[in-house]
Amino acid sequence: MSDLIEFLALGSFLGLAAGTSPGPLLAVTISETLQHGKWEGIKVAMSPLITDLPIILSILFLLSHLTNYSSIIGIIAFFGAFYLIYSGMESLKIKQRSVELRLEKKDALKKGIIVNFGNPHPYIFWISIGGPIIFKTLSTHVSATILFILGFYIFLVGSKVIITLIVEKSKSFINSKYYFSIIHILGIAQIVFGLAFIKMGLSSLNII
């Protein structure tokens, strides 16, 4: 039971970190909200539910041929660690500044899908972090896999939806100290998880 809660919590954290970190999809979400209202922003926020399935399935198929080689999984874990640490450090560098976004016309869901398919972050995440975690959950129980994915997408999409609603009500929030404080805290947490992935990689390589 504790393992299930652990994977749910891990998925929730990673989803929250991905959902609130500045990036192309969040930029489009905010822009559509500012220009066309909350419903257009929500459409963009939900686009990963459409785009990520083929990405995840393709990457899991690729990784499934590597699961018998612990050294390769260990190397992948190192890439995941470096990505998390880099992402966390980038979050810590973010300063309060004005957000000026301009998009030309109203077609929110289509924009979100195009942006997310062209965004390298989902590919990097599922190759280096999400994929190895899913294989680990499968070795525990299929319910652990379901909870990890549910936690990830509830918080990934949910955090963007909440930001959309807040931006609709208070368009100054995106430049507020509270938003940037949240990003910085999540940045520190990502670095901590990155260090945990280094440990996982060393363990897979039988170094520790």
- Are the CB atoms for 78 and 194 separated by under 8 Å? no
- Please name which of 124, 159, 155 lies closest in space to residue 30, comparing C-alpha atoms: 159
CA distance 12 to 15: 5
What value does the mean pLDDT take over residues 108-114? 84
The residue extents of the domains of the chain are 2-204
Whether 156 has a pLDDT exceeding 90, the answer reads yes
Q: What is the pLDDT of residue 103?
A: 46
Judge whether residue 45 has pLDDT over 90.
yes
Query: pLDDT-derived band of residue 147, with 50, 70 and 90 as boundaries?
Result: very high
First to last CA, the chain: 27
For residue 22, what is the DSSP state? -
Which range in 49-53, 71-75, 148-152, 177-181 is most confidently predicted, on average pLDDT?
148-152
pLDDT at residue number 98: 46
User: In which band, very low, low, confident or very high, does the pLDDT at 69 lie, cut at 50, 70 and 90?
Assistant: low
What is residue 60's three-state secondary structure? Answer: helix
- Name the band, by pLDDT with cuts 50, 70 and 90, for residue 112: confident
CB atoms within 10 A of CB 48: 24
Mean pLDDT across the stretch 56-74? 74
Query: Cβ contacts of residue 119 below 8 Å, gap of 6+?
Result: 23, 24, 25
